[in-house]
């Protein structure tokens, strides 16, 4: 069919390309990040030019060394803080007089004589040598350059108990702290032979013992 002169030919119009808003945002964000990085780089270059050497090192190596040193210092501080915390925790768990719990440990005997508290005892005395760990944690000790005679555990009383199979009953004995036992664990007690045989046969040598501190009697003012 022929087209008349009066017919209008509609030419297809080219549509504009519309960019989604989220893509515009991404483009803007990327440009902003690049600008921020460039700004930071410019500031660093003004303080520490990249072409110079620092202490014989390039800027990059120096920054890595400084970062490593900072991390090492931070780890040291955290370690010291944890150590102090553990030390405090361990002391709170030790069988000190402030701890009113009942403890279970080894019961042994030793050759008596002049003890760390400055008192001379015999094998017939109801005395006890407390663990060096507990003794030192309580206060002054010769092992730390102090006067052991002034240790607050000296003269303190505790009660040791044990079920005696021979007699079929629990037997107890009150013991006075006069010495410091270097081979004892915190809950162990080392006593005189006479005191030991009141709770166990001498041939046993080492038995389990249950004990607790005897709290001082409160007197009125």
Domain harbouring 194, CATH code: 2.40.40.10
pLDDT recorded at residue 119: 95
Same domain (yes/no): 112, 52: no
| Residue that finishes a domain, picked among 45, 73, 93 | 93
Q: Does some domain include residue 122? A: yes
Residue 32 belongs to domain spanning:
23-93
Classify strands 207-213 and 157-164 as parallel, antiparallel or unpaired: antiparallel
Q: How far apart are CA 30 and CA 77, in angstroms?
A: 39
CA 124 to chain centre: 42
Which two three-digit tokens encode residue 19?
Answer: 């960019």
CA 18 to chain centre: 63
Residue 137, burial from CB neighbour count under 10 angstroms (0-12, 13-18, 19+): middle
Classify strands 189-191 and 103-109 as parallel, antiparallel or unpaired: parallel
- Contact call for residues 128 and 178 (beta carbons, < 8 A): yes
Same domain (yes/no): 107, 188: yes
Same domain (yes/no): 71, 138: no
Which two three-digit tokens encode residue 76?
Answer: 């040291």
| Residue that finishes a domain, picked among 42, 65, 93 | 93
Same domain (yes/no): 33, 127: no
- Contact call for residues 195 and 127 (beta carbons, < 8 A): yes
Residue-by-residue pLDDT tens, the chain, 221 positions: 444 444 545 555 555 555 555 555 555 555 666 666 666 666 777 777 877 887 888 888 888 988 999 898 888 888 776 654 454 445 558 889 888 899 999 999 999 999 999 999 999 999 999 999 999 999 988 877 789 999 999 999 999 999 988 778 999 999 999 999 999 999 999 999 999 999 999 999 999 999 999 987 655 54
Q: Does some domain include residue 9? A: no
Place of tokens 């507990």: 134
Structural domain count of the chain: 2
Please, which residues have CB within 8 angstroms of residue 131's CB and are 6 or more apart in sequence?
Answer: 180, 181, 184, 185, 186, 187, 188
pLDDT recorded at residue 57: 85
CB-side neighbour CA atoms (13 Å) of 51: 1
- CA-closest candidate to residue 188, choices 114, 122, 104: 104
Q: Does some domain include residue 202? A: yes
pTM of whole model > 0.75?
A: no
| Residue that finishes a domain, picked among 40, 71, 93 | 93
Which two three-digit tokens encode residue 85?
Answer: 């915390």
Same domain (yes/no): 154, 198: yes
Please, which residues have CB within 8 angstroms of residue 116's CB and are 6 or more apart in sequence?
Answer: 129, 135, 141, 142, 148, 149, 151, 154, 178, 179, 180
Q: How far apart are CA 119 and CA 135, in angstroms?
A: 15
Distances (CA, A) of 136 to 22, 65, 139, 142, 216: 70, 42, 6, 9, 21
């Amino acid at each position: 069919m022929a087209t008349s002169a009066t017919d209008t030919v509609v030419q297809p119009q080219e549509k504009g390309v519309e960019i989604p808003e989220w893509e515009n945002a991404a483009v803007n964000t990327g440009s902003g990040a690049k600008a921020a990085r460039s700004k930071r780089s410019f500031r660093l270059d003004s303080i520490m030019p990249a072409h110079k050497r620092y202490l014989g090192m390039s800027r990059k190596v120096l920054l890595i060394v400084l970062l490593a040193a900072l991390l090492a210092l931070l780890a040291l501080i955290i370690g010291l803080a944890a150590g102090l915390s553990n030390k405090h925790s361990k002391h709170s768990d030790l069988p000190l007089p402030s701890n009113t719990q009942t403890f279970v440990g080894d019961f042994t005997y030793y050759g008596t004589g002049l003890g760390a508290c400055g008192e001379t005892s015999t094998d017939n005395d109801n005395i006890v040598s407390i663990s060096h760990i507990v003794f030192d944690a309580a206060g002054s000790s010769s092992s730390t350059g102090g006067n052991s005679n002034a240790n607050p555990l000296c003269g303190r009383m505790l009660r040791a108990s044990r079920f005696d199979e021979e007699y079929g009953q629990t037997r107890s004995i009150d013991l006075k702290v006069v010495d410091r036992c270097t081979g004892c664990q915190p809950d162990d007690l080392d006593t005189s032979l006479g005191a030991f045989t009141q709770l166990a046969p001498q041939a046993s040598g080492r038995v389990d013992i249950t004990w607790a501190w005897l709290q001082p009697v409160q007197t009125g003012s």
